[in-house]
């Protein structure tokens, strides 16, 4: 790669001192090793990747921008949410109520129930794992029934058993 001929190892080492993150560090270390005579094939083996990847890492340095920026990936926002912010807020308010209060005949929220609710209410499809994530993001946690200590107050035991029957050991507000 002829374009690395114009870059000194010192410049690469200075850039290495100023970068954060595994990938940018790895890319600069590969460039330094390449400048020291290590082949792209050897670098690919060292980094458990392909020669094309190493070539791309080295080619990134053929730019006018600072090396620190050249070896850093641009931010990727990910997939757009299926629910708008307003719908997300409405959903979160709904799951903080019992399903019966929002017109669903069930004792407690479950991922499958959330999946059905989202489909019927907002006409969007979510997988069961995504519904679990939405429940967690809404501030709910999965509750499992636990034994009540024998010395607990009788009223507290009754309240616990009533709550347990109502929720069926499912998702409830924290």
Distance CA 64, CA 169 (A): 60
**Confidence (pLDDT) at 46:** 93
**Is the pLDDT reported for residue 174 higher than 60?**
no
pLDDT tens string 123-154: 999 999 999 999 999 998 877 666 655 666 77
CB atoms within 10 A of CB 140: 21
Measured CA angle at 91 (ends 87, 97), to 5 deg? 150
Cα radius of gyration (the chain): 28
Prediction pTM value: 0.47
pLDDT in tens, 48-58: 999 999 999 98
Dump pLDDT digits (tens) for 66-118.
Answer: 888 888 888 788 888 899 999 999 999 999 998 989 888 888 899 999 999 99
Range 15-29 average pLDDT: 89
Query: Which pLDDT score, from 0 to 100, does residue 156 have?
Result: 76
């Amino acid at each position: 790669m002829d374009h690395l001929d114009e870059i000194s190892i010192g410049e690469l080492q200075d850039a290495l001192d100023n970068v954060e993150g595994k990938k940018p560090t790895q890319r600069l270390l590969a460039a330094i090793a390449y400048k020291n005579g290590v082949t792209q094939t050897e670098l690919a083996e060292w980094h458990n990747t392909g020669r094309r990847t190493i070539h791309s890492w080295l080619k990134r340095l053929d730019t006018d921008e600072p090396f620190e920026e050249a070896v850093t990936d641009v931010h990727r926002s990910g997939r757009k949410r299926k629910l708008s912010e307003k719908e997300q807020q409405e959903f979160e308010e709904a799951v903080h109520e019992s399903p019966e209060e929002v017109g669903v005949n069930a004792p407690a929220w479950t991922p499958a129930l959330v999946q059905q609710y989202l489909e019927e209410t907002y006409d969007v499809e979510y997988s069961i794992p995504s519904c679990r994530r939405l429940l967690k993001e809404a501030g709910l946690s999965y509750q499992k029934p636990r034994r009540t200590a024998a010395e607990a107050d009788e009223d507290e035991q009754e309240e616990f058993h009533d709550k347990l029957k109502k929720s069926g050991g499912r998702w409830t507000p924290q």
